[in-house]
Chain A
């Protein structure tokens, strides 16, 4: 045993003792999984020609959901600002690159402060690199795709003893980064002891192993994000989990076929998440799944180069949708009224039993158990 491993073992032992001595965090009777998707336009989703790219959302989930097809993004149509607006219920105008915290408390923070739940009850697992630990201080923020990016970069740039992008080598590299460098790559860890918790550790090791050895050969950022999020849900059962899928953002580089592939992958992963929740007795009856796209994208022929970007003040870019499944959507319906993304925030809070704060959003009356 080297000095380094000895110190690590000692630290783990101390943290386990401390964790055992801490007052138990309250378990809430209801939980929410919020999935945000990157920019998807109507013409590639909820339109006659677009339905082929979202067969699961349309065929499997829509019939059992509370669906708001006209959900407007009235804020800044960038990733960090949109997601922080959804989480706070207030349109945010902060640094697009995650250099600043949202200017208002998030749902996670309100949940923690009002219900005496600990940080271990609040998790963010995200593909999008514009999301940083600033998205909600005090929450576990897992930049899953960034973990893979780091592993791949280290291997191809010769910074690692591993030299080939083979599955087993990537697994070893990701495990090494997870063990030693999680904070350096930007993960948000409210407590240093979080990753020393054996159950948390098992969660990640299991997710990474499933990703590498999965039968359908997963290899994208969103597939890794899904597997980590699923393990977090299964093993840690947090009260609130936010997941972000962003493979469709390859659109910024102009490959339409890869963008469509990202849309279809997100469709499949949302469905798998729903199936997983339904198959888990501990989750099935108390977990609401909310799926929202952040915005559309720019219209074909716009000066901003159409589907590549999401900057225009157009319906094509601002019109999004919201789908709720599970106990909060006890009466499935398509609600054709126009709502705003920030209306979802107080609705989730109210359903979970805490106050969403003095926000401009209005609680959605259909959203209840």
Chain B
């Protein structure tokens, strides 16, 4: 149980049945939660603890009513987490849409009322999404719908040449004292270009190869029944992954557990490099809420005939078709998935207008700047120094 977190003994019992397992799961992992998650959970629970009984009952009454009509299985209020089978029961209930809407309403109310430390909530943030070199950019409009919201800035050279010094300068910036290491700078990348970047939490698809293969091997052995899925998931939650995750990730227990839950949460994080970057970046912003995040997309290999029906398998295994890249498909994927990172950041940060986004392609000498606050742009074409100074100024504002 969480140190320093005081929860009235009967609070969890008074919550709706579907809340208990999720809350217990978070409390069980308290030491591995990111500072932002701890602050949020602490604020929510403290607010609920102080809420007068009649207001508490009023807040949850509609949800309790829906749950009472959902014919849910009996969940022990001390259970931690829901199984795939449990989630299936919930999701196929005729009342699931109402339940989901009501959960969102309740959390909206709690989060609006629960106070969190102001300084961190209002920090300026920076998101940089980068498409890889080696893709043909001439014939495809880049982020046409986002372009209408932002401004294109010309550069004096392709962004790919600016990225390494830019990333280093950003990672080594002076940060507010209140920010812990896990809240400063995160990098998600397909390759291993930033593995040794100082001052950042770097998660690389390439560097996690051994861990991904181990997870895929175990998941491929799952039988076509939910019991088997639940059992394998539970085993993968417990297995020691420090060795296969590599020394840098293994040295950070929170990042290590983040990687584990990322790879177990679907959304292609185990299957495609660009899905790993997109889903990882979205989850990092939701959970760790770093001040800066770099999402570097890559080139996906072309799927091979026949092997493509077993996506979880190694596509090269026993397949005589040669390995090939799919630059055209990777561009389509990268454009959509980088937009998704932007949209998820806009959704999860408390003050989206304080987030500056740079959408870039390595081979292109212009970038799309998105920021509701409309900061004054640079002279055109901007030098690497101009762009770096612009981003640092924004982060210090």
Contacts and interface: CB of A to CB of B under 8 A. Distances in A.
Interface string B302-333: 01111111110110011111000010111011
Interface string A131-170: 0000000000000010011001101100000011110001
Size class of the A contact interface (CB-based, 8 Å): 35 or more
Contact of B318 (A94, A164, A313): A164
B226 interface: yes
Contacts of B319: 156, 164-165
B382 interface: no
Q: Identify which of B91, B328, B346 gathers the most chain A CB atoms within 10 Å of its CB.
A: B91
B88 to A, nearest CB: 5
Contacts of B215: none
Interface stretch (B119-127, B188-196, B287-295, B337-345): B337-345
Contacts of B309: 145, 148-149, 152, 220-221
A12 to B, nearest CB: 29
Q: Please report whether the interface of chain A is mostly helix, strand, loop or mixed according to DSSP.
A: loop
Given A93-B94, A301-B347, A252 B266 contact: yes
Interface in B229-275: 266-268, 271-272, 274-275
B282 A148 contact: no
A220 B88 CA distance: 29
Contacts of B305: 165, 217, 219
Interface residues on B, range: 35 or more
A165 B332 CA distance: 28
Given A99-B226, A149-B310, A253-B268, A165 B94 contact: no
A169 to B, nearest CB: 9
Contact of B100 (A76, A91, A306, A313): A313
A300 B333 contact: no
Given A256-B336, A257-B333, A308-B268, A156 B317 contact: yes
A362 B88 CA distance: 29
A293 interface: no
Contacts, number: 128
A95 B92 contact: yes
Nearest to B312: A253
Contacts of A257: 326, 328-330, 332-333
Given A156-B317, A301-B344, A305-B340, A255 B300 contact: yes
Contact of A300 (B303, B329, B339): B339
A333 B268 CA distance: 40
A164 B317 CA distance: 9
B176 interface: no
Contacts of A254: 267-268, 271-272, 274-275, 278-279, 333, 337
A165 B91 contact: no
A96 interface: yes
A156 B319 CA distance: 8
A250 interface: yes
Given A145-B309, A165-B320, A256-B333, A96 B268 contact: no
